[in-house]
Structures are given as structure tokens and as C-alpha cells.
Amino acid sequence: MNEDWEKFKGMKGWHWTGIYAGRMDTFFKKDLSLICVDPVLEFKHPYSTGICYFKLDWTENEPGDHLLFVHAQKTPAPVNYEQSDHPEQKYLILDSGFSCEPNLVKRLIGYGFEDEGGIFLSEVVMELEERFITIKTGAVIEVHVTEKKPEGLGECIFSS
């Protein structure tokens, strides 16, 4: 299994503090949708000052499938940020962001497919206490915030 996927699964029990991007468009019909390029997820440990960042990226393979990449990293790059003097907040994010409360991560699920080239991720679902955050890849990254469990997402690749 991908090392970054393992780190991402390890965020179960952490607080999802938000998603950040240089540009983020929001749409609201029945549920909230965020459209963003080069987003970064931030998680905070519930009992320490530990913070983890995951940059989301995507590509399209030869058959036209959209592949989602989750990269663990130490800073919120590529979003604009500054170092913070506050002991519980390492960085101040200067770009667009979205967060919600309560934000404890109960479960992380990765969906995708397997072929002779390997196992590929296409969607991620974060189950929070009262919401589901679904992240889908395409020409841009789509983030859907809903109170209902998403359905029809493909084959489960990993789950925590």
C-alpha cells in the first residue's frame, strides 16, 4: 500500500481543521460543493500540538480515468502561508479555506480501481461526527460536504 495512503489513514481520531487552496469556488444546492485547484488538507492531533498536511493532486491516465494523489507534507504549501508565533498553530494560511465543526475524523475511506498497472485512488471520504466530506478528482478537485453517507463510489481501496 502507498506510504502516503497509510499516513492519511492514520488521521483517524485527529481533527480535520480544514481544506485550503489558492482559489476555491463554492456552490450550494442541497449540499455544499467546493471546487479547488491544488488543495491542502490540515489535521490537528486531539491531544498535542501535532499538525499534518496532505496536498491533493490529480492526473488522467491513458484510458481517461482520473487518479487522485494524496501527498503527506510538513507545510501547507502550495497555499500561501506565514510562520506563526502561536505555539498551537505553526502556520497562518493566507489563502481560501473551509472548515466545519465538529471535526473529529471517525473514518477515512479511499475508493478507486485496480488494473495491471497497480491500485489507483479516485475518491476519498472522510467521515466526521456529523458530516461526510467526499473528495473527487477530475479537471479540478471537487469536495462535497453532506450529512448523508455517499453511495456508488467504486471499489474500496483502503479504510481506517
pLDDT in tens, the chain (160 residues): 588 999 999 999 999 999 999 999 999 888 999 999 899 999 999 988 889 999 999 998 888 889 999 999 999 999 999 998 887 778 999 999 999 999 999 999 999 998 877 899 999 999 999 999 999 988 789 999 999 999 878 899 999 9
For residue 8, the surrounding DSSP H or E stretch is helix 3-9
72-81 CB burial, b ≥16 within 10 A, e <16: beeebebbeb
Query: Within the chain, how many helices (H) and strands (E) appear?
Result: 1, 14
Q: What are the residues whose beta carbons fall under 8 Å from the beta carbon of 99, sequence distance 6 or more?
A: 16, 17, 18, 19
CA distances from 36 to 71, 77, 123 (A): 16, 14, 15
Q: What SS3 class is residue 143? A: strand
pTM confidence score: 0.93
Burial class (CB in 10 A: 0-12, 13-18, 19+), 156: exposed
CA distance 127 to 117: 29
